[in-house]
Amino acid sequence: MRPLSVAVVRRKFRPVNIVTLLPFIVLIGAMFLMTRSAKRKQQAAASMRNEMQPGSGVRTIGGMYATVKEVNEETVLLDAGPGVDLLFGKSAIGAVLSDDEYNRIVHGVEHDLKSDSDVVPDDASSLTETDDSADEAAAASDDKSVDLGKKDAPEEPADETVTAEAKSDEEPKKKDGESEAK
């Protein structure tokens, strides 16, 4: 056997170029970042589910809105309506809603922060007139009927309808597959 020379060893065991390793490094970094963000989301969901209290509104992962009646270690008893109690696993709770958001979605109650501010009127006449004249104009508009320019058309004579029906009876009726061309 012949001894290996230094040149042969260098050729066999040359150092790896950083450019060839770069895609693997990026792939491993991306996987690390994705698993980290997924863990954060899971932790946030778990803390949200652990902070549930009776009386709070929730949305299940199936889209059902209900009120929490009782919270156990792994289950939640929900009140979905009068006399309807449902038992769900805690993992089936998609979101715990604030009271305002729950009332807005379920009951259609809008909590308006600007309730003390001016209300925009429905008609434009009250924007240009003073309060007294607006009341008078509203009372006057209730009494008057609006003419849209349509006149009552005289009734058509019955003879025209009879002749139209007679014409339709004279024409032969088409059967399936027949055309007008002969």
Quick: pLDDT tens for 148-177.
Answer: 776 665 555 555 555 555 555 555 666 666
Instruction: Give the integer Cα–Cα distance in Å for 120 and 136.
Output: 20
Topology of domain 51-107 in CATH is: SH3 type barrels. (2.30.30)
Statement: residue 83 has pLDDT above 80: yes
- List Cα–Cα distances, 146 to 116, 121, 140, in angstroms: 36, 21, 12
Tell me the domain boundaries of the chain: 51-107
The tokens describing 40, both together, are 């954060």
For the whole prediction, is pTM greater than 0.75?
no
Residue 94 CB coordination number (10 Å) = 16
Q: 8 or 98: whose pLDDT is higher?
A: 98
The more confidently predicted of residues 80 and 113 is: 80
* Mean per-residue pLDDT over the chain, rounded: 75
Task: Name residue, tokens 């209730």.
Answer: 142
- Categorize the per-residue pLDDT at 30 as very low, low, confident or very high, splitting at 50, 70 and 90: very high
